[in-house]
């Protein structure tokens, strides 16, 4: 029995990928792992619940949204642009990381994670949250609840979430235009 394949073209971390023939129905996370060796996106529940597999989707209007790669097939991303965890930090010409994003650095500074299995998803979620605040700032009094609501769907088996939330709060406070007094 042959597996039906269809061409897929998309942009990942700023680089056009494809067209490449991909099995119909292959989950996006399997495409990232198996075809591109982008293994930093983690497979957790596989059912759309834990959000460990979340990547950033870059929309045509300049906004960003979160996308889970376990429940959506690779072809659902046809023509789209996404950023995986490998595409957040700034790299030099040799591909070596030279600067983390404020979200990544803040997670490290606040000791936000332990095993790190959930962290790629949290980086994606927090990045989308901060992007949203740049467009629609919140009042300082509402910041904590906004963070908790935004990251509420991301599950972590190790931590109490507090240090993740503190890290995101610091980024929001340090990023001009995100918080209104
Ligand atoms: S692995 Fe995708 S939501 Fe859990
Ligand atoms: S740090 Fe281990 S699951 Fe979140």
SS3 142: helix
Q: Mean pLDDT throughout 132-138?
A: 98
Q: Judge if 69 and 127 occupy the same domain.
A: no
Residue 103 has pLDDT above 80, yes or no: yes
Q: Judge if 19 and 49 occupy the same domain.
A: yes
Of all protein residues, the one whose alpha carbon is nearest to atom 3 of ligand 1 is 48
pLDDT in tens, 56-94: 999 999 999 999 999 999 999 999 999 999 999 999 999
* Closest to 16 in 3D by CA, of 109, 104, 79: 79
CA distance 9 to 94: 25
End-of-domain residue from the set 40, 63, 87: 87
Ligand sitting nearest the alpha carbon of 111? 2
Q: Judge if 112 and 55 occupy the same domain.
A: no
What's the pLDDT score for residue 181? 86
pLDDT in tens, 7-58: 999 999 999 999 999 999 999 999 999 999 999 999 999 999 999 999 999 9
Q: Tell me the pLDDT band of 158, cut-offs 50, 70 and 90.
A: very high
Q: Mean pLDDT throughout 132-145?
A: 98
Q: Which residue among 108, 118, 125, 164 is best mutated to probe the pocket of ligand 2, counting the most ligand atoms within 8 A of its Cβ?
A: 118
Any residues with Cβ below 6 Å from ligand 2, and which? 113-118, 156-159
Q: Report the DSSP pairing between strands 64-68 and 54-58.
A: antiparallel
Q: Judge if 115 and 157 occupy the same domain.
A: yes
CA distance 142 to 12: 34
Ligand 2 centre distance from Cα of residue 5 (Å): 35
Enumerate the H helices of the chain as residue ranges: 28-36, 102-109, 119-135, 140-151, 162-174
End-of-domain residue from the set 43, 60, 87: 87
Q: Judge if 157 and 117 occupy the same domain.
A: yes
CATH of the domain at 47: 3.10.20.30
What's the pLDDT score for residue 74? 98
End-of-domain residue from the set 58, 87, 116: 87
Angle between helix axes 140-151 and 162-174 (nearest 10 degrees) is 130
Residue 122 has pLDDT above 80, yes or no: yes
* Total tally of structural domains belonging to the chain: 2
Q: Judge if 77 and 31 occupy the same domain.
A: yes
Provide the domain limits for residue 121: 90-180
Q: Judge if 56 and 129 occupy the same domain.
A: no
Q: Judge if 82 and 98 occupy the same domain.
A: no
Q: Tell me the pLDDT band of 2, cut-offs 50, 70 and 90.
A: confident
CATH of the domain at 170: 1.10.150.120
What's the pLDDT score for residue 173? 98
Give percent above pLDDT 90 in the chain.
Answer: 97
CA distances from 32 to 12, 44, 70, 95, 99 (A): 9, 15, 11, 18, 23
Predicted TM-score of the model (pTM): 0.97
Whether cis (ω within 30° of 0) applies to the bond prior to 19 is: yes
Q: Judge if 172 and 94 occupy the same domain.
A: yes
What's the pLDDT score for residue 22? 98
Q: Judge if 128 and 51 occupy the same domain.
A: no
């Amino acid at each position: 029995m042959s597996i039906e394949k269809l061409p897929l073209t998309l942009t990942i971390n700023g680089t056009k990928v494809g067209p490449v023939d991909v099995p119909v129905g292959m989950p996006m996370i399997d495409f990232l792992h198996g075809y591109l060796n982008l293994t930093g996106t983690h497979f957790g529940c596989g059912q759309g619940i834990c959000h460990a597999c979340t990547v950033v989707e870059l929309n045509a209007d300049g906004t960003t949204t979160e996308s889970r790669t376990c429940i959506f097939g690779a072809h659902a991303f046809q023509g789209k642009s996404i950023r995986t965890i490998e595409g957040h930090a700034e790299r030099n010409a040799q591909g070596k990381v030279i600067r983390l994003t404020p979200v990544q650095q803040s997670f490290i500074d606040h000791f936000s994670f332990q095993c790190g299995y959930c962290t790629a998803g949290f980086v994606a979620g927090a990045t989308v949250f901060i992007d949203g605040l740049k467009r629609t700032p919140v009042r300082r009094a509402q910041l904590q609840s906004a963070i908790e609501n935004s990251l509420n769907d991301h599950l972590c088996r190790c931590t109490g979430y507090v240090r993740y939330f503190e890290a995101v709060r610091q980024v929001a406070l340090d990023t001009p235009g995100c918080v209104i007094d």
